[in-house]
Amino acid sequence: MIKNKLFLVLSIFFIITSVTYAFELLLTPSYSYTLNSTGDTSIQQSLDYTGGRISFLVPTQDSEEISYGPYLGFFYNYELLDSLQNIEDVGISLGLNMKYTTGIIGNLDFLVSAYGGVHTEDYFKTFKTEILINGGISYNNLSLSVGYETRYYQGDLTVNYLPISLGVSFKF
């Protein structure tokens, strides 16, 4: 059943890419440092995680500076895995990515990226919210950004992160 859901998500992604004439594929691996956590008092240690997102972005009709589209993310949170039950090794996140870029000098651009969606650590049995906003710079197709992220977990646990992301984009 999980393989069927993942196959469906990937199929929709490829159908969208085949009918679009101009798009951008954005890969953003990141490391997210725990700023603080609230809610579950049994977890007091760092809940840092590593992961990455793949975004399919389409430019808006009125401006090529703004693009938007779905993202699929994978993350690994080793401290959280040791603390909570019913958690799998790798989590998955799904949602919408909005990206704004504007030129500074030459090929150097200012970049703001916002992600909003859900994440699941238990093979699509439960979903919790994630909200992330990044700001940084990009040069040609490479980017470096830092931001602020809030994730909600099982057991009323809320964790605020400082994600540091390196990205590469491919425009078609």
Domain boundaries, given as residue ranges, for the chain: 2-171
CB 45 within 8 A of CB 79: yes
- CA 118/CA 9 separation, integer angstroms: 14
- pLDDT (tens digit per residue) in 87-133: 556 789 999 999 999 999 988 999 999 999 999 887 788 899 999 99
* pLDDT tens track for 132-171: 999 999 998 899 999 999 999 877 888 899 999 999 988 8
Question: CB of 120 within 8 A of CB of 84?
Answer: no
Nearest to 30 by CA among 172, 168, 159, 123: 168
Read off the pTM: 0.80
Pick the CATH number of 2-171 from 2.40.160.20, 3.40.50.720, 1.10.287.130, 3.20.20.140: 2.40.160.20
